[in-house]
A = this chain, B = another copy of it.
Amino acid sequence: MRAEIAEQPAVLDRILTEGLEEVRRVAERIRHAAPRFVVLAARGTSDHAALYAKYLIEVLLGLPAGLASPSTTTVYGAPGRFADVLYVAVSQSGESPDLVESLRAAREGGALTLAVTNAASSPLAEGAAFHLDVLAGQERSVAATKTYTAQLLTLYLLVDALRGGDRALGADLPGLAARTLELAAHPAVEVAEHLHHAAWIVCTGRGYSYATAREAALKLVETAYLPAHAYSGADLMHGPLAMLDSGTPVVAVVGEGAGGQALDPVVERLRSMEADVLIAGPGGALPTVTGVPEEVAPVIEIMPLQLLAAELAAVRAIDPDQPRGLAKVTLTR
């Protein structure tokens, strides 16, 4: 897991150099079809990449987007009316049967289909009209890290190409990633030691960073066996706040843009309740470099949290590469 976390700057660079041409080609085809609604289908870590893409699509393209509930197809056999819909399935392995079946049903219902995977010869990639390979190379750790940030960058480049952007925001990411991994290495160990005996933790973020909070929680759960809840900053205020004791650890993902600003009152409230607030972001306990544009910040801001998950597993004497009860490819229907 640590080795794959460290590979991320190189993977991001590979996408920018080797993957961009295909992203532009696919974007051109999608623009030609002019979809009016986007549905994103994914499970687990990939679902957080899909959530990030949902925000990008709504904010940058102005198109309504939703996350699929694959079981409406696989459990209830719903026939869908998918004309004018772009259906995007995101999966590291491209093998999850429920995604393969949902994508097939969407295609039969008239959707334009796109698979974003790390496995070009997978059933999902082969079943879709278009495919984008995230070029992360083989991922051995059960906990997905490099495939996640590779999905994020690929999806960002796709949305940027769809709006006729210049991809400028993505270009610096390999360097920003390398500097963040270096900057966060020691703090992640310190926070891991601080959380050694934590019974549970809350992760929160708003806007683009909500995806980061969700992914951080899943990493802590699956690698360090720490029960971790993720809530958007808004949802946290609607109920879950009640369960926080003074001292409850809360990871708050606070970036430099509007999403980070929108989280400020939540952080203030948490501090007034004497929660143990750990900021992930520039200048925080789990630091990232400054100057990362908000639209691409999720690619960077997850990195200190990946390191935290790996270090907390180490502190707790857990092997993050062999989580109990999990397989690399999960065959849910």
**A contact residues vs B (CB 8 Å cutoff):** 36-37, 39, 43-45, 47, 54-55, 58-60, 62-67, 69-72, 74-76, 78-85, 98, 109, 143, 199-200, 206-207, 210, 218, 221-223, 225-227, 229, 232-235, 237-245, 258-259, 262, 273, 323-326, 330, 332-333
- Residues in chain B near residue A78, CB distance under 8 A: 58-60, 62
A1 CB → nearest B CB, Å: 13
Partner pick for A39 among B66, B234, B235, B244, CB 8 A cutoff? B66
- Residues in chain B near residue A36, CB distance under 8 A: 37, 81, 83-84
Known A-B contacts A70-B234, A222-B242, A242-B326; the reply to A79 vs B62 at CB < 8 A is yes
Taking A62-B79, A64-B80 as known contacts, 19 extra A-B pairs with beta carbons closer than 8 A to each other, sorted by chain A number, are A43-B235, A44-B239, A47-B235, A55-B72, A64-B81, A70-B234, A71-B210, A71-B234, A74-B262, A75-B206, A75-B258, A218-B240, A222-B239, A222-B240, A222-B243, A242-B325, A244-B325, A262-B333, A273-B325
* Pairwise interchain contact A63-B44, C-beta atoms closer than 8 A: no
The docked-state distance in angstroms from the alpha carbon of A67 to that of B39 is 11
A37 CB → nearest B CB, Å: 4
* Pairwise interchain contact A258-B199, C-beta atoms closer than 8 A: no
- Residues in chain B near residue A323, CB distance under 8 A: 239, 242
* Pairwise interchain contact A80-B98, C-beta atoms closer than 8 A: no
The docked-state distance in angstroms from the alpha carbon of A82 to that of B66 is 13
Partner pick for A207 among B60, B76, B233, CB 8 A cutoff? B76
The docked-state distance in angstroms from the alpha carbon of A258 to that of B234 is 33
The docked-state distance in angstroms from the alpha carbon of A273 to that of B83 is 44
